[in-house]
Amino acid sequence: MQKYYLAVDIGASSGRHMLASLQDGKMLLEEVYRFENGMQHVDGKLLWDTKHLFREIVNGMKKCKELGKIPASMSIDTWAVDYVLLDERDEVLGDTYGYRDSRTDGMDEKVYEIIPEAELYKKTGIQKQMFNTIYQLMAVKEKETGLLNRAKTFLMLPDYFQYLLTGNKVSEYTNATSTQLMNPETKQWDKELIRKLGYPEEIFLPVQLPGTEVGSLKKEIRDAVGFDCKVVLCASHDTASAVMAMPVVNGDGLYISSGTWSLMGVENDTALCDEKSRSANFTNEGGYEYRFRYLKNIMGLWMIQSVRHELKDAYSFAELCVMAEECRNFPARVDVNDDCFLAPENMTEAIRDYCKKHGKQVPQTTGEIAAVIYQSLAECYGRTVKELEQNTKKSYAGIHIIGGGSNAAYLNQLTAAATGKTVYAGPGEATAIGNIMAQMIKDGVFQNLSEARACVFASFDVKTYEAENR
């Protein structure tokens, strides 16, 4: 019988259930279920609807039963930094905030009153992002003190969903590192830092690696979906799973995990927590088998996704790329990492306002707006490559673009031109593939990550874009 593995890959705008199997030495992927996601505007707050998400996780599992393709194991990955606090009855305390909510405004200064920014970076190696969990928890401490006092367990979102499936609480390593509360040397929670910040240290569970078995499905879940399977930890931070699927056996290359965010970096054996890395805003997030993803968070395709929604999704991304190329000589550029683009009420107007404010030609047409976004992203990639090579004291011949953004051919070509590197685009489903890889390694299908990566290289198309072509 064919053996199946299920990846539940939940992103900021949608989720999907991907079944994988191995045939003739190649990995086959099949999307069996897809559902919508998004932060909800509730009373001036940006929240996640975790009940909706868990219902959809179960609905997608039911689909596996309908198809007669029962997974041997499954795992869940999501975006980073967001979490739930559970009380003594294991009920969620308060709201489940989305990372774009503004409650963290000013919380960086509260944290730095306790530990200076440079010292914090030296301790954790994590770049400053206003949505990091360390600042979210400071917002809870400052504004909702009672919640922290009543909290018994802290779980990142994938860990919470897997708890709902199994009844077992486990804290996964790669996502935990995004909190800015982990020690890159001990690779566990920095209890000294947590105590200093005034967060209850007992709510943080010991950190477990991808490949750890969480447990089997609870009876009520088995009854609902019609089968039982193992739940296994993947690299539950979606970028960590995506980087696992980079089709380079030795992992030695630049990558851009391209989607709503663009995560651009390299894999290192040790964290680079020096001042040069901090001032350039690089991070050292945890990867599979204690690798470090030394990378920079770049705004990514969020900007063009937002513009598309403002146009009532009247154009496909391919059509927007054509319009951008027709306006390729439009001169304005923006800093894609400026906070004004994080969660504006209207992205198109935010781009125009930025251009006005900085004395640049203001884009008027949709094509000009798209050109500003794509050209600005590519130029940001170009600057980031130079910083990466300087900081790691290595040069790289190519860039691997993985994830959904690998299908953006126009941006890939701009990236090759802006960086002077050969761009290798694919696989597009990198996150789900990485999720599956961790499960297959756990099950003995692959001996190690290198063997799994060789299978990815053999299984999925990778397109090449040369720097000299424009």
**DSSP string for residues in 257-305:** EESSSEEEEEEESS---SHHHHHTT-EEEE-GGG-EEEEEEE-TTHHHH
Q: Mean pLDDT over residues 233-255, rounded?
A: 91
Any idea what DSSP says for residue 97?
A: B
Q: How confident is the model at residue 1 (pLDDT cuts 50, 70, 90)?
A: confident
Distance in angstroms (rounded) separating the CA atoms of residues 392 and 397: 14
| pLDDT at 189 (0 to 100) | 98
Any idea what DSSP says for residue 92?
A: B
Residue 230 CB partners (closer than 8 Å, separation 6+): 72, 73, 74, 213, 214, 215, 216
| Helix segments in 144-254, DSSP class H | 145-150, 157-166, 173-177, 191-197, 219-225, 238-244
Is the Cα dihedral 89, 93, 95, 99 positive or negative?
Answer: negative
| pLDDT at 468 (0 to 100) | 73
Q: Mean pLDDT over residues 282-297, rounded?
A: 96
Q: Tell me: pLDDT of 272 over 60.
A: yes
Distance in angstroms (rounded) separating the CA atoms of residues 346 and 331: 22
| pLDDT at 248 (0 to 100) | 84
Q: For 122-144, what is each residue's pLDDT tens digit?
A: 999 999 999 999 999 999 999 99
Q: How confident is the model at residue 197 (pLDDT cuts 50, 70, 90)?
A: very high
Structure tokens at 14: 């949608």
Catalytic residue numbers read 238
Q: Which single residue is written with the structure tokens 């929670």?
A: 189
| pLDDT at 252 (0 to 100) | 79
| pLDDT at 470 (0 to 100) | 44
Q: Mean pLDDT over residues 365-382, rounded?
A: 98
Q: How confident is the model at residue 238 (pLDDT cuts 50, 70, 90)?
A: very high
| pLDDT at 464 (0 to 100) | 95
Query: Is residue 356 within 8 Å of 237, Cβ to Cβ?
Result: no
Any idea what DSSP says for residue 204?
A: B
Q: Mean pLDDT over residues 413-442, rounded?
A: 96
Q: For 30-77, what is each residue's pLDDT tens digit?
A: 999 999 999 999 999 999 999 999 999 999 999 999 999 999 999 999
Distance in angstroms (rounded) separating the CA atoms of residues 383 and 418: 9
Distance in angstroms (rounded) separating the CA atoms of residues 438 and 338: 35
Q: How far out from the chain centre does Cα 3 lie?
A: 28
Distance in angstroms (rounded) separating the CA atoms of residues 283 and 280: 9
Is residue 306 helix, strand or coil? Answer: helix
Q: Tell me: pLDDT of 264 over 90.
A: yes
| pLDDT at 121 (0 to 100) | 98
Q: Mean pLDDT over residues 252-264, rounded?
A: 92
Q: For 95-128, what is each residue's pLDDT tens digit?
A: 999 999 999 999 999 999 999 999 999 999 999 9
pTM beyond cutoff 0.85: yes
Q: Which residue has the higher pLDDT, 12 or 384?
A: 384
| pLDDT at 251 (0 to 100) | 67
Is the Cα dihedral 335, 341, 347, 349 positive or negative?
Answer: negative
Q: How confident is the model at residue 249 (pLDDT cuts 50, 70, 90)?
A: confident
Q: How confident is the model at residue 253 (pLDDT cuts 50, 70, 90)?
A: confident
Q: Mean pLDDT over residues 76-84, rounded?
A: 98
Q: Tell me: pLDDT of 324 over 70.
A: yes
Residue 288 CB partners (closer than 8 Å, separation 6+): 174, 210, 235, 240, 243, 244, 434, 438, 449
Any idea what DSSP says for residue 374?
A: H
Q: How confident is the model at residue 363 (pLDDT cuts 50, 70, 90)?
A: very high
| pLDDT at 122 (0 to 100) | 97
